[in-house]
Amino acid sequence: MRAGLLALLFVLPLPAFAAPMALHPTARGVVEGAIESAIRPGFAALVANSSSLVATTRVLCAKPSAEHLAEARAGFAGLVDAWSRAELVTIGPLADDNRAERFLFWPDRKGIALKQVQGLLSAEDPTATNPATLKSKSVAVQGLGALEFALFGTGSETLAMGEGAYRCAYVVAAATGLATIARELDTAWRDEEGISDALTFPGPERTDYRSSTEVLEALVGLLAHGTERVRDQRLLSFIGRDGATPKPKSALFWRSNLTIAALRADFAGLRALFEGAELGAYVPDEAADVTQKVRAAFDAVDAAAAAVTLPVEEALADPAQKTALDRLVAESKVLQDLLSEELPAALGLSVGFSSLDGD
């Protein structure tokens, strides 16, 4: 009897849970992984950090002090980090309603934001202290660049004193506006009938994504064009291209000394997207070395950025720090080439033309 049962066990099919796991994710699995493991958590963090900044700036306005100013500045740093990790997911809701520009007006080659923010602060325009009316103004006075000047720029020390009341009210209004945008982005990405549905279930009847290939190209395009954008607009813009004179005060977030931290967060966000989507596992076995090279390139970029420990103006004047910055330029080019050429080729995809090409 026992022998018969054993024999029967060998011929019965194994239960589903015992089946070997697939070695490669499906195209839909790649998309779902990107959304669930990288994109949604990124925008959720943006909500948390923007809400935290609103809270700390309100405390600062109610009880001005050096301690509360330091807390508000730390809240700003947290929001810059969260934004930098999420900002390169430019498809979908971030491209609507000028959200990206309202959150960060950049590049700002003519210093428009500085001039307009200084004008608001000088005139003490009351409409700039109301989030509803501030939203109708220039995008240059609504976002992180404007907030940075208000919190760190000339005259920001008054925020720790009663005489900085108007400036502080403006800071709260701007922070509140960013928190609203963050919630809109988070809600849009969590809407099961919105962008997530379009990416997960593409079809010929759609006007946005008609096939899984188009979706995968969009996701890989975020990696390729995102790396190019960070390198071109955030790094080379102040280090100087082809031996040009460095311009440290043209660096994003130089006043708050968050330039390099923001760069590291940008690359960390791109890596989270690569890993969350399991693109490395989606690469065919015969091209597995591409995955290893991409991961090594991300490591090299972060190591080079971590070696830059001084504010950018001092770093550019220090030989060792300048060497680290030059290394960051070189390593980011390696990563850019991998993400724009080798990875798409390994996946049989085309990431298309970048708006930065030819600049």
What percentage of residues in the chain have a pLDDT greater than 90? 88
Determine the average pLDDT of the residues in 56-66: 98
Domain ranges of the chain: 27-190, 212-347
For residues 168 and 159, the answer to whether their CB atoms sit within 8 Å is yes
Lowest mean pLDDT among 114-118, 178-182, 352-356: 352-356
What average pLDDT does the segment 128-153 reach?
97
Helices 259-276 and 319-337, axial angle in degrees (round to 10): 30
Residue-level pLDDT at 19: 35
Q: Which residue has the higher pLDDT, 355 or 259?
A: 259
Q: Residue 120 and residue 150: Cα distance in Å, rounded?
A: 11
pLDDT score at 97: 95
| pLDDT above 60: residue 331 | yes
Given this model, what pLDDT does residue 17 score?
Answer: 35
Structure tokens at 23: 């070695």
- Here the tokens at position 10 are 């060998």
**Locate tokens 């030989």: which residue?**
319
pLDDT value at 254 more than 80: yes
Domain 27-190, CATH class in plain words = mainly alpha
Residue 297 pLDDT class (50, 70, 90 cuts): very high
pLDDT value, residue 280: 94
Write down the pTM of the prediction: 0.91
Helix/strand/coil (H/E/C) assignment for every residue in 164-193: HHHHHHHHHHHHHHHHHHHHHHHHHHHCCC
Q: Model confidence at 353, in pLDDT bands (50, 70, 90)?
A: low
Please give the C-alpha separations between residue 142 and each of 173, 245, 341, in angstroms, as whole numbers: 9, 31, 37
Average pLDDT over residues 145-154: 98
Res. 352 pLDDT band, cuts 50 70 90 = confident
Nearest 5 degrees, angle CA 229-CA 52-CA 46?
30
pLDDT given at position 24: 74
* Rounded average pLDDT over 87-115: 95
273: exposed, middle or buried (Cβ count in 10 Å: 0-12, 13-18, 19+): buried
Confidence of residue 243 (pLDDT cuts 50, 70, 90): confident
For residue 162, the model assigns a pLDDT of 84
